[in-house]
Amino acid sequence: MYDICSMLTKKQKNLLLFINKKIRSTGISPSYEEMKNSLNLKSKSGIHRLISALEERGFVRRLAHKARALEVLKLPETASANDIYNSFSPSVIKGGLDTENSKKNINEIPVLGKIAAGTPIEAIQNEVSKISLPEELSNNGEHFGLKISGDSMIEAGINDGDTVIIKKTNTANNGQIVVALIDDHEAMLKRIRRKGKVVALESANKRYETKIFGPDRIKVQGVLVSLYRNFQ
Protein backbone atom coordinates (compact mmCIF):
# COMPACT_ATOMS: atom_id res chain seq x y z
CA MET A 1 0.00 0.00 0.00
CA TYR A 2 1.39 3.41 -0.98
CA ASP A 3 1.08 6.87 0.48
CA ILE A 4 -0.14 8.63 -2.67
CA CYS A 5 1.44 11.99 -1.82
CA SER A 6 4.90 10.63 -1.16
CA MET A 7 4.89 7.22 -2.89
CA LEU A 8 6.09 5.47 0.21
CA THR A 9 5.02 2.05 1.33
CA LYS A 10 3.41 1.82 4.75
CA LYS A 11 6.60 0.36 6.24
CA GLN A 12 8.77 3.05 4.66
CA LYS A 13 6.52 5.79 6.03
CA ASN A 14 6.35 4.24 9.51
CA LEU A 15 10.12 3.88 9.64
CA LEU A 16 10.63 7.46 8.49
CA LEU A 17 8.29 8.78 11.18
CA PHE A 18 9.97 6.61 13.83
CA ILE A 19 13.41 7.93 12.84
CA ASN A 20 12.12 11.50 12.91
CA LYS A 21 10.55 11.15 16.36
CA LYS A 22 13.67 9.50 17.76
CA ILE A 23 15.95 12.26 16.45
CA ARG A 24 13.60 14.98 17.70
CA SER A 25 13.35 13.47 21.17
CA THR A 26 16.97 12.41 21.73
CA GLY A 27 19.03 14.26 19.13
CA ILE A 28 20.47 11.02 17.71
CA SER A 29 19.37 8.43 15.17
CA PRO A 30 17.81 5.19 16.40
CA SER A 31 19.89 2.03 16.21
CA TYR A 32 19.10 -0.64 13.63
CA GLU A 33 17.88 -2.82 16.47
CA GLU A 34 15.44 -0.13 17.59
CA MET A 35 14.22 0.35 14.03
CA LYS A 36 13.79 -3.38 13.57
CA ASN A 37 11.78 -3.67 16.76
CA SER A 38 9.61 -0.66 15.92
CA LEU A 39 8.41 -2.39 12.73
CA ASN A 40 8.35 -5.90 14.22
CA LEU A 41 10.80 -7.16 11.61
CA LYS A 42 12.77 -10.35 12.08
CA SER A 43 16.10 -9.12 10.71
CA LYS A 44 18.02 -5.90 10.21
CA SER A 45 18.43 -6.56 6.49
CA GLY A 46 14.87 -5.33 5.97
CA ILE A 47 15.79 -2.05 7.69
CA HIS A 48 18.77 -1.59 5.37
CA ARG A 49 16.48 -1.97 2.34
CA LEU A 50 13.91 0.45 3.74
CA ILE A 51 16.55 3.09 4.52
CA SER A 52 18.02 2.73 1.03
CA ALA A 53 14.56 3.27 -0.44
CA LEU A 54 14.02 6.37 1.71
CA GLU A 55 17.42 7.69 0.69
CA GLU A 56 16.69 7.15 -3.01
CA ARG A 57 13.43 9.08 -2.67
CA GLY A 58 15.14 12.00 -0.92
CA PHE A 59 13.56 11.59 2.53
CA VAL A 60 16.75 10.80 4.46
CA ARG A 61 20.48 10.87 3.98
CA ARG A 62 23.29 9.04 5.68
CA LEU A 63 25.77 11.32 7.43
CA ALA A 64 29.37 10.81 6.40
CA HIS A 65 31.93 9.89 9.07
CA LYS A 66 29.19 8.89 11.54
CA ALA A 67 28.29 5.23 11.80
CA ARG A 68 24.56 4.62 11.16
CA ALA A 69 23.77 8.35 11.55
CA LEU A 70 20.78 9.59 9.56
CA GLU A 71 19.26 12.97 8.82
CA VAL A 72 15.59 13.39 7.93
CA LEU A 73 15.30 15.76 4.96
CA LYS A 74 11.53 15.83 4.59
CA LEU A 75 8.37 14.07 5.72
CA PRO A 76 5.32 12.84 3.81
CA GLU A 77 2.71 15.53 3.13
CA THR A 78 0.13 13.26 4.74
CA ALA A 79 1.98 13.12 8.08
CA SER A 80 -0.13 14.53 10.91
CA ALA A 81 1.10 17.01 13.49
CA ASN A 82 1.26 14.20 16.04
CA ASP A 83 3.40 12.19 13.59
CA ILE A 84 5.82 15.07 13.13
CA TYR A 85 6.21 16.31 16.67
CA ASN A 86 7.40 14.43 19.69
CA SER A 87 4.28 15.70 21.41
CA PHE A 88 4.07 16.84 24.98
CA SER A 89 0.96 15.23 26.44
CA PRO A 90 -0.19 17.83 28.92
CA SER A 91 -1.41 16.85 32.35
CA VAL A 92 -4.35 19.24 32.38
CA ILE A 93 -5.57 20.66 35.67
CA LYS A 94 -9.15 21.78 35.23
CA GLY A 95 -9.78 25.28 36.49
CA GLY A 96 -12.94 26.93 37.69
CA LEU A 97 -14.61 23.72 38.83
CA ASP A 98 -15.80 23.27 42.41
CA THR A 99 -14.76 19.65 42.79
CA GLU A 100 -13.34 17.53 45.59
CA ASN A 101 -9.92 17.79 43.97
CA SER A 102 -10.01 21.56 43.92
CA LYS A 103 -10.80 21.60 47.63
CA LYS A 104 -7.67 19.56 48.30
CA ASN A 105 -5.40 22.08 46.56
CA ILE A 106 -3.18 23.41 49.30
CA ASN A 107 -0.18 24.70 47.33
CA GLU A 108 -0.09 27.97 45.45
CA ILE A 109 2.44 29.09 42.88
CA PRO A 110 2.83 32.51 41.26
CA VAL A 111 1.73 33.27 37.72
CA LEU A 112 4.32 35.64 36.23
CA GLY A 113 2.44 37.14 33.29
CA LYS A 114 1.91 36.16 29.66
CA ILE A 115 4.48 34.51 27.41
CA ALA A 116 4.45 34.64 23.62
CA ALA A 117 7.03 34.59 20.83
CA GLY A 118 9.67 37.11 21.89
CA THR A 119 8.21 38.24 25.23
CA PRO A 120 10.47 40.81 26.95
CA ILE A 121 11.85 39.23 30.11
CA GLU A 122 10.55 42.20 32.13
CA ALA A 123 7.00 41.08 31.28
CA ILE A 124 7.34 37.80 33.17
CA GLN A 125 9.28 38.83 36.24
CA ASN A 126 6.44 40.06 38.42
CA GLU A 127 3.66 38.03 39.99
CA VAL A 128 0.24 38.86 38.54
CA SER A 129 -1.81 36.13 40.23
CA LYS A 130 -1.60 32.76 41.93
CA ILE A 131 -2.95 29.34 41.10
CA SER A 132 -3.57 26.41 43.41
CA LEU A 133 -2.11 23.03 42.54
CA PRO A 134 -2.38 19.52 43.94
CA GLU A 135 0.47 18.88 46.33
CA GLU A 136 2.03 16.16 44.17
CA LEU A 137 2.74 18.69 41.42
CA SER A 138 4.45 21.30 43.52
CA ASN A 139 6.30 19.46 46.27
CA ASN A 140 9.25 18.60 44.04
CA GLY A 141 11.20 21.76 43.46
CA GLU A 142 10.14 25.35 42.79
CA HIS A 143 7.48 26.09 40.18
CA PHE A 144 5.82 29.08 38.55
CA GLY A 145 3.06 29.64 36.02
CA LEU A 146 2.92 31.56 32.75
CA LYS A 147 -0.15 32.45 30.71
CA ILE A 148 0.08 31.37 27.07
CA SER A 149 -0.58 33.96 24.38
CA GLY A 150 -0.73 32.67 20.80
CA ASP A 151 -0.72 29.35 18.96
CA SER A 152 2.97 28.59 18.45
CA MET A 153 2.81 25.44 20.64
CA ILE A 154 -0.71 24.31 19.79
CA GLU A 155 0.38 21.04 18.16
CA ALA A 156 1.96 20.02 21.47
CA GLY A 157 -1.43 20.41 23.16
CA ILE A 158 -0.72 23.89 24.54
CA ASN A 159 -3.51 26.33 23.69
CA ASP A 160 -3.89 30.09 23.73
CA GLY A 161 -5.13 31.02 27.21
CA ASP A 162 -3.65 28.00 29.00
CA THR A 163 -1.41 28.53 32.00
CA VAL A 164 1.71 26.38 31.76
CA ILE A 165 3.37 25.07 34.90
CA ILE A 166 7.14 25.45 34.80
CA LYS A 167 9.65 23.78 37.10
CA LYS A 168 12.61 26.06 37.72
CA THR A 169 15.89 24.65 36.41
CA ASN A 170 18.77 25.86 34.28
CA THR A 171 19.22 22.55 32.45
CA ALA A 172 17.04 20.61 30.02
CA ASN A 173 17.26 17.49 27.89
CA ASN A 174 16.98 17.54 24.11
CA GLY A 175 13.33 17.63 23.13
CA GLN A 176 11.98 19.13 26.35
CA ILE A 177 9.71 22.17 26.24
CA VAL A 178 11.38 25.00 28.11
CA VAL A 179 11.21 28.65 28.96
CA ALA A 180 14.31 29.93 27.19
CA LEU A 181 15.87 33.33 27.81
CA ILE A 182 17.51 34.79 24.70
CA ASP A 183 20.32 37.34 25.05
CA ASP A 184 19.11 38.06 28.61
CA HIS A 185 16.21 39.94 27.05
CA GLU A 186 13.51 37.82 25.39
CA ALA A 187 11.73 34.79 26.83
CA MET A 188 10.09 32.04 24.76
CA LEU A 189 8.30 28.77 25.43
CA LYS A 190 9.80 26.37 22.88
CA ARG A 191 11.11 22.86 22.43
CA ILE A 192 14.89 22.89 22.78
CA ARG A 193 17.40 20.99 20.63
CA ARG A 194 21.16 21.11 20.90
CA LYS A 195 23.33 19.98 18.03
CA GLY A 196 27.03 20.69 17.99
CA LYS A 197 27.59 24.37 18.65
CA VAL A 198 24.03 25.52 17.99
CA VAL A 199 20.78 25.55 19.94
CA ALA A 200 17.46 25.27 18.13
CA LEU A 201 14.20 26.53 19.61
CA GLU A 202 11.27 24.83 17.90
CA SER A 203 7.62 25.80 17.84
CA ALA A 204 4.95 23.11 17.75
CA ASN A 205 3.18 24.71 14.82
CA LYS A 206 4.32 24.23 11.24
CA ARG A 207 3.58 27.88 10.47
CA TYR A 208 6.46 29.02 12.69
CA GLU A 209 10.13 28.72 11.78
CA THR A 210 12.70 27.09 14.04
CA LYS A 211 15.06 29.67 15.55
CA ILE A 212 18.79 28.88 15.71
CA PHE A 213 21.18 30.43 18.23
CA GLY A 214 24.71 30.09 19.54
CA PRO A 215 24.87 28.26 22.90
CA ASP A 216 26.01 31.38 24.79
CA ARG A 217 22.82 33.24 23.79
CA ILE A 218 20.35 30.82 25.44
CA LYS A 219 19.64 30.33 29.14
CA VAL A 220 17.08 27.78 30.28
CA GLN A 221 14.77 29.21 32.95
CA GLY A 222 12.65 26.11 33.52
CA VAL A 223 10.99 23.07 31.95
CA LEU A 224 7.31 22.45 31.29
CA VAL A 225 5.73 19.90 33.62
CA SER A 226 1.99 20.49 33.30
CA LEU A 227 -0.64 23.06 32.43
CA TYR A 228 -3.76 24.62 33.87
CA ARG A 229 -6.83 25.00 31.65
CA ASN A 230 -10.00 26.79 32.66
CA PHE A 231 -13.07 25.01 31.29
CA GLN A 232 -15.61 27.60 32.44
Catalytic residue numbers, as ranges: 152, 190
- Strands of 134-217, DSSP E: 143-148, 163-168, 177-182, 186-195, 198-202, 211-213
* H helix or E strand, kind and range, residue 57: none
DSSP string, 38-68: HTT-S-THHHHHHHHHHHHTTSEEEPTTSTT
β-strand pairing of 107-115 with 143-148: parallel
**Which residues fall within 8 angstroms of residue 138, CB to CB, at 6 or more apart?**
107, 109
